[in-house]
Amino acid sequence: MSKLFERAQQFGKSFMLPIAILPAAGLLLGIGGALSNPNTVNAYPVLDIGLLQNIFILMSSAGNIVFQNLPVIFAIGVAIGLAKSDKGTAGLAAMLGFLIMNASMNGLLTITGTLAKDNLAEAGQSMVLGIQTVETGVFGGIITGIMTALLHNKFHKISLPDYLGFFGGSRFVPIITAIASIVLGVIMFFVWPTVQGWIFGVGGIVDKTGIIGTFFFGFILRLLGPFGLHHIFYLPFWQTALGGSLEVKGHMIQGMQNIFFAQLGDSDVTKYFSGVSRYMSGRFITMMFGLCGAALAIYHTAKPERKKVVGGLMLSAALTSFLTGITEPLEFSFLFVAPLLYVIHAFLDGLAFMMADVFNITVGQTFSGGFIDFLLFGVLQGNSKTNFLWVIPIGIIWFIMYYFIFRFLITKFNFKTPGREDEVTTEAVEVTDRAQTIIKALGGKENIDVVDCCATQARGVIQKGNGVQVIYGPHVTTIKNEVEALLENETS
């Protein structure tokens, strides 16, 4: 059981590398995206200044490219985090595997004649790194990263016959990953559309079940979020008649978000469309208040010697959530090390959506529920149109609820949230006599700065300046990995 927990902890820690880049990207995207949005500019002409808009567009573009490519970022990050050694090769193999998986699905879409010409989202497809493919979101990247790491850890020391020696060791990892990724792409092609169909089907049920449906909308939306599948679920409500239809200024508008922005330009509107309270406004309660309470709980439960580092991480993640409504930096910090916390988070988020519906809070948004959108589309629109004031007392309650629930569960079940990780024992390294002999012959680990290799059939020793090239033949990659593993073990 302890081995299982150690594996789970290592899996959770592998997400820290990609998570670390998200707060900065989130702030760029949130601020730039909200303030360069055409609907925002139309509503607030003071923002319509050329230089200012150029800056906002640059900020949005810089942040957006990160979130558009989260799947491949997580594929590489997870592979690097789970690889036991030679992590660079694992990252490269994961990138290759991700490309091949999506290219395989593109090939099957072409073969079956199901490659969508337009409306990719409705067809469950998207563009990924220039490849039109089945939309698997972050989940596809995570699966690729895990698969690559498993293959890397099994085969990165493999020895092949002499005539194939060049392809042994680490060089074999991208080869086997490429083959496995074709299989993964075929599996995902046939399995994933069924998952997408279930998501679409649930949307129809939500629409017909009133306030209870509002709860399940928020709950399901949050469960799908970390896997990048939430777009499949909420976009029909935001952009199609499923989210409602309303005549605005003589035009019939369909889709909850479309209706809100149409009303934003209508000076005769006295109250925004009620659908906004069902499918949008609950986000502000969770993103501005609830998750900030969770961040404080994670900080307070961290080990004393790690609080400084955790405090910086949680502060930046909470600030990103509060200002922009981008929650991934916070959510991924506890999702895989404590899934129960995430289920509780999804449940509370569902309740937040329900509360927004009960109190008819109609604060719209561009793409997320942070303070920027709250200010622009809530506060500045007036309480009579939006009931934005209800967000504050409900939000404070949610902050307290998140804080005490998270703090209790973290300490009760000893969840390994950031700052509470155990010291992970180093994996037993296969120490070979030749690795020990090589290190000793080179003057010991203190005398070794960089270890690298190239393949050759000759044998011998070449010395030039401070560099020593020891020629072993086609199995040199395997020998190099043994030496690196021993050096890392002695250092740790």
Are 471 and 442 in contact, with CB atoms under 8 Å apart?
Answer: no
* pLDDT higher at 381 or 265: 381
CA nearest 332: which of 323, 341, 344?
Answer: 341
**Is the pLDDT higher at 452 or at 128?**
128
Q: Is the pLDDT of residue 110 over 60?
A: yes
The pLDDT assigned to 356 comes to 94
Q: Is the pLDDT of residue 428 over 60?
A: no
Position with higher pLDDT, 433 vs 59: 59
**Under a CB-based contact definition with an 8 Å cutoff, are residues 445 and 490 in contact?**
yes
Is it the case that residue 422 has pLDDT exceeding 80? no
Decide which of 480 and 321 is more confident: 321
**Residue closest to 237 by CA, chosen among 259, 211, 219, 264:** 259
pLDDT at 383 over 70: yes
Q: What is the pLDDT of residues 323-351, one digit of tens each?
A: 888 888 888 888 878 889 999 999 999 99
Q: Work out the average pLDDT over 355-363.
A: 93
pLDDT of residue 429: 46
Instruction: Say yes or no to pLDDT of 367 above 70.
Output: no
Query: Model confidence at 427, in pLDDT bands (50, 70, 90)?
Result: very low
Per-residue pLDDT at 364 = 85
pLDDT reported for residue 393 = 96
pLDDT over 50 (residue 484)? yes
Q: Calculate the CA dihedral of residues 183, 184, 189, 195 and round it to 10 degrees.
A: 150
Would you list the domain boundaries of the chain?
Answer: 2-208, 223-412, 433-491
Does residue 430 have a pLDDT over 70?
Answer: no
pLDDT band at 426 (very low <50, low <70, confident <90, very high): very low
- What are the φ/ψ torsions at residue 131 (nearest 5 degrees)? -110, 125
Confidence (pLDDT) at 296: 95
pLDDT of residue 472: 58
Q: 5 pLDDT band (50/70/90 cuts)? A: low
pLDDT tens, residue by residue, 215-273: 998 998 898 877 666 766 777 777 666 777 777 777 677 778 778 877 876 767 788 88
pLDDT surpasses 90 at 187: yes
**Tokens coding 100:** 């091949």
Report the pLDDT value the prediction gives residue 1, as an integer from 0 to 100: 46
pLDDT score of 300: 93
Return the pLDDT at 387. 93
**Residue range 275-301, pLDDT digits in tens:** 888 888 999 999 999 999 999 999 999
Mean pLDDT of the chain: 81
Cα separation, 46 vs 108, in Å, equals 50
The pLDDT, as a whole number, for residue 459 is 52
Q: Which two three-digit tokens encode residue 288?
A: 């501005």
Per-residue model confidence as pLDDT tens digits over 130-185: 999 998 877 888 899 999 999 998 888 887 777 676 777 788 899 999 999 999 99
Q: HSE of 461 in the Cβ direction (CA atoms, 13 Å)?
A: 6
Q: What is the pLDDT of residue 46?
A: 85
Q: Which residues contact 130 (CB under 8 A, 6 or more apart)?
A: none
Q: What is the pLDDT of residue 425?
A: 47
Across 24-30, average pLDDT: 75
Closest C-alpha among 42, 7, 39, 23 to residue 333? 23
Residue 451: per-residue pLDDT: 64
HEC profile of the chain: CHHHHHHHHHHHHCCHHHHHCHHHHHHHHHHHHHHHCHHHHHHCHHHCCHHHHHHHHHHHHHHHHHHHCHHHHHHHHHHHHHCCCCHHHHHHHHHHHHHHHHHHHHHHHHHCCCCCCCCCCCCCEEEECCEEEECCHHHHHHHHHHHHHHHHHHHCCCCCCHHHHHHCHHHHHHHHHHHHHHHHHHHHHHHHHHHHHHHHHHHHHHHCCHHHHHHHHHHHHHHHHHHCCHHHHHHHHHHCHHHCEEEECCEEEECHHHHHHHHHCCCCCCCCCCHHHHHCCHHHHHHHHHHHHHHHHHHHCCCHHHHHHHHHHHHHHHHHHHHHCCCHHHHCCCCCCCHHHHHHHHHHHHHHHHHHHHCCCCCCCCCCCCHHHHHHHCHHHCHHHHCHHHHHHHHHHHHHHHHHHHHHHHHHCCCCCCCCCCCCCCCCCCCCHHHHHHHHHCCCHHHCCCCCCCCCCCCEEEEECCEEEEECCCCHHHHHHHHHHHHHHHHC
Is the separation of the CB atoms in 62 and 389 below 8 Å?
Answer: no
Q: What is the pLDDT of residues 448-465, one digit of tens each?
A: 666 666 554 455 555 656
State the pLDDT at residue 233: 75
Question: What is the per-residue pLDDT for 48?
Answer: 87
| pTM, 2 dp | 0.66
- Amino acid letter for position 201: G
Q: Given this model, what pLDDT does residue 192 score?
A: 86
